[in-house]
Protein backbone atom coordinates (compact mmCIF):
# COMPACT_ATOMS: atom_id res chain seq x y z
CA UNK A 1 0.00 0.00 0.00
CA UNK A 2 2.84 2.44 0.84
CA UNK A 3 4.41 2.06 -2.59
CA UNK A 4 1.14 3.19 -4.20
CA UNK A 5 1.29 6.39 -2.20
CA UNK A 6 4.89 6.97 -3.23
CA UNK A 7 4.10 6.20 -6.87
CA UNK A 8 1.19 8.63 -6.81
CA UNK A 9 3.33 11.42 -5.32
CA UNK A 10 6.36 10.90 -7.58
CA UNK A 11 4.85 12.68 -10.62
CA UNK A 12 4.00 15.67 -8.40
CA UNK A 13 7.61 15.89 -7.24
CA UNK A 14 8.83 15.71 -10.84
CA UNK A 15 6.51 18.57 -11.83
CA UNK A 16 7.67 20.71 -8.89
CA UNK A 17 11.35 20.12 -9.70
CA UNK A 18 10.78 20.84 -13.40
CA UNK A 19 8.93 24.05 -12.56
CA UNK A 20 11.74 25.11 -10.23
CA UNK A 21 14.32 24.50 -12.94
CA UNK A 22 12.28 26.38 -15.54
CA UNK A 23 11.19 29.32 -13.36
CA UNK A 24 13.55 29.62 -10.41
CA UNK A 25 11.94 31.09 -7.33
CA UNK A 26 13.70 33.66 -5.16
CA UNK A 27 16.37 31.98 -3.07
CA UNK A 28 15.25 30.35 0.16
CA UNK A 29 16.91 31.89 3.23
CA UNK A 30 18.76 30.01 5.94
CA UNK A 31 17.95 32.02 9.11
CA UNK A 32 19.79 32.20 12.42
CA UNK A 33 18.51 34.17 15.44
CA UNK A 34 20.70 36.17 17.79
CA UNK A 35 20.18 38.07 21.02
CA UNK A 36 18.80 41.57 20.66
CA UNK A 37 21.28 44.44 20.29
CA UNK A 38 21.30 48.19 20.84
CA UNK A 39 20.55 50.79 18.16
CA UNK A 40 24.21 51.81 18.13
CA UNK A 41 25.37 48.23 17.63
CA UNK A 42 22.87 47.68 14.80
CA UNK A 43 24.15 50.87 13.13
CA UNK A 44 27.71 49.52 13.30
CA UNK A 45 26.65 46.26 11.61
CA UNK A 46 24.75 48.27 9.00
CA UNK A 47 27.88 50.34 8.25
CA UNK A 48 29.95 47.17 7.88
CA UNK A 49 27.48 45.83 5.31
CA UNK A 50 27.51 49.16 3.47
CA UNK A 51 31.33 49.12 3.41
CA UNK A 52 31.27 45.54 2.12
CA UNK A 53 29.10 46.62 -0.82
CA UNK A 54 30.99 49.87 -1.41
CA UNK A 55 34.33 48.02 -1.55
CA UNK A 56 32.99 45.93 -4.47
CA UNK A 57 31.67 48.58 -6.86
CA UNK A 58 31.65 46.50 -10.05
CA UNK A 59 30.77 43.11 -8.61
CA UNK A 60 26.97 43.42 -8.75
CA UNK A 61 26.18 44.01 -5.06
CA UNK A 62 23.63 46.52 -3.79
CA UNK A 63 22.86 47.62 -0.23
CA UNK A 64 19.10 47.90 0.34
CA UNK A 65 17.74 49.44 3.51
CA UNK A 66 14.23 48.20 4.20
CA UNK A 67 13.62 50.05 7.49
CA UNK A 68 16.21 52.34 9.05
CA UNK A 69 17.61 50.84 12.26
CA UNK A 70 15.46 47.72 11.75
CA UNK A 71 16.32 45.86 8.53
CA UNK A 72 18.77 45.86 5.65
CA UNK A 73 19.64 43.51 2.82
CA UNK A 74 22.54 42.86 0.50
CA UNK A 75 21.41 42.04 -3.02
CA UNK A 76 23.27 40.32 -5.83
CA UNK A 77 22.04 41.69 -9.16
CA UNK A 78 18.66 42.49 -7.60
CA UNK A 79 18.24 39.22 -5.67
CA UNK A 80 18.60 39.28 -1.87
CA UNK A 81 21.46 37.10 -0.61
CA UNK A 82 21.81 38.41 2.97
CA UNK A 83 19.24 39.95 5.34
CA UNK A 84 19.67 41.37 8.84
CA UNK A 85 16.45 42.20 10.67
CA UNK A 86 15.77 43.47 14.18
CA UNK A 87 12.68 41.96 15.71
CA UNK A 88 11.10 42.76 19.04
CA UNK A 89 13.08 40.20 21.06
CA UNK A 90 15.86 39.03 18.77
CA UNK A 91 17.93 39.71 15.68
CA UNK A 92 17.51 37.55 12.57
CA UNK A 93 20.36 36.98 10.10
CA UNK A 94 19.48 35.16 6.90
CA UNK A 95 21.57 34.09 3.93
CA UNK A 96 20.09 32.53 0.81
CA UNK A 97 20.74 28.82 0.40
CA UNK A 98 22.32 29.49 -3.00
CA UNK A 99 24.70 32.19 -1.71
CA UNK A 100 27.69 29.86 -2.08
CA UNK A 101 26.94 29.74 -5.84
CA UNK A 102 25.40 33.16 -6.44
CA UNK A 103 27.65 35.33 -4.24
CA UNK A 104 30.23 33.29 -2.33
CA UNK A 105 31.99 36.38 -0.98
CA UNK A 106 28.81 37.32 0.94
CA UNK A 107 29.52 34.33 3.19
CA UNK A 108 32.52 36.31 4.48
CA UNK A 109 30.18 39.16 5.43
CA UNK A 110 27.88 36.70 7.20
CA UNK A 111 30.85 35.35 9.18
CA UNK A 112 31.95 38.87 10.15
CA UNK A 113 28.45 39.77 11.32
CA UNK A 114 27.87 36.47 13.14
CA UNK A 115 31.19 36.71 14.95
CA UNK A 116 29.98 39.90 16.65
CA UNK A 117 26.61 38.50 17.77
CA UNK A 118 25.44 36.10 20.48
CA UNK A 119 23.32 33.31 18.95
CA UNK A 120 20.15 32.04 20.57
CA UNK A 121 20.24 28.35 21.39
CA UNK A 122 18.13 25.97 19.32
CA UNK A 123 15.18 25.92 21.74
CA UNK A 124 15.12 29.74 21.93
CA UNK A 125 15.12 29.90 18.12
CA UNK A 126 12.21 27.46 17.93
CA UNK A 127 10.27 29.43 20.58
CA UNK A 128 10.98 32.68 18.67
CA UNK A 129 9.44 31.13 15.56
CA UNK A 130 12.64 31.17 13.51
CA UNK A 131 12.02 28.77 10.63
CA UNK A 132 14.65 26.30 9.56
CA UNK A 133 14.95 25.46 5.89
CA UNK A 134 13.42 22.06 5.46
CA UNK A 135 15.10 19.26 3.59
CA UNK A 136 12.75 19.81 0.62
CA UNK A 137 13.92 23.45 0.29
CA UNK A 138 17.55 22.35 0.25
CA UNK A 139 16.84 19.54 -2.22
CA UNK A 140 14.94 21.83 -4.61
CA UNK A 141 17.81 24.31 -4.41
CA UNK A 142 20.26 21.58 -5.45
CA UNK A 143 18.00 20.26 -8.21
CA UNK A 144 17.41 23.76 -9.58
CA UNK A 145 20.97 23.64 -10.84
CA UNK A 146 23.76 26.13 -11.08
CA UNK A 147 23.31 29.88 -10.97
CA UNK A 148 23.99 31.34 -14.44
CA UNK A 149 27.28 33.25 -14.72
CA UNK A 150 25.45 36.52 -15.46
CA UNK A 151 23.51 36.23 -12.19
CA UNK A 152 26.58 35.88 -9.95
CA UNK A 153 28.28 38.53 -7.86
CA UNK A 154 31.75 38.92 -6.48
CA UNK A 155 33.33 37.36 -9.56
CA UNK A 156 35.32 39.63 -11.83
In a domain, 88, yes or no: yes
Domain assignment present for residue 106? The answer is yes
pLDDT at residue 154, as a whole number: 72
Q: How far does Cα 47 stand from its chain's mean position?
A: 19
36: in domain: yes
Gap between the Cα atoms of 88 and 41, Å rounded: 15
Q: Dump pLDDT digits (tens) for 81-94.
A: 999 999 888 999 99
pLDDT of residue 139: 56
In a domain, 9, yes or no: no
CB 72 within 8 A of CB 61: no
**Radius of gyration, alpha carbons of the chain:** 18
C-alpha distances in Å from residue 37, one per residue of 31, 62, 77, 88, 118: 17, 24, 30, 10, 9
**CB-based contact 12:77 (threshold 8 Å):** no
Q: Please say whether the beta carbons of 103 and 152 come within 8 A.
A: yes
More confident: 135 or 124: 124
Give this prediction's pTM. Answer: 0.70
Average pLDDT over residues 25-40: 76
Q: How confident is the model at residue 13 (pLDDT cuts 50, 70, 90)?
A: very low
In a domain, 8, yes or no: no
Cβ burial, residue 101 (10 Å; 0-12/13-18/19+): middle
Residue 100 domain flag: yes
Range of the domain at 38: 29-132
* Residue 138: inside a domain: no
In-domain check, residue 127: yes
Give the tens place of pLDDT for each residue, 49-75: 999 999 998 899 999 998 878 999 999
Do the strands 61-67 and 71-76 form a parallel or antiparallel pair, or are they unpaired?
antiparallel
Q: Rounded to the nearest 5°, which phi and psi values hold at 36? A: -60, 150
Look over the chain and give the mean of its residue pLDDT values, rounded to a whole number: 77
Number of separate domains in the chain: 1
Measuring CA to CA, how many Å separate 55 from each of 1, 58, 101, 105?
59, 9, 20, 12
Amino acid sequence: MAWWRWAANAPCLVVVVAAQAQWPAPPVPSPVAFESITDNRFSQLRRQAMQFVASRPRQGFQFVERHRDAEFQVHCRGIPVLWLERRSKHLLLQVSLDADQRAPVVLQLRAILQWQLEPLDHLEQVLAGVPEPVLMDRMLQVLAGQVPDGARCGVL
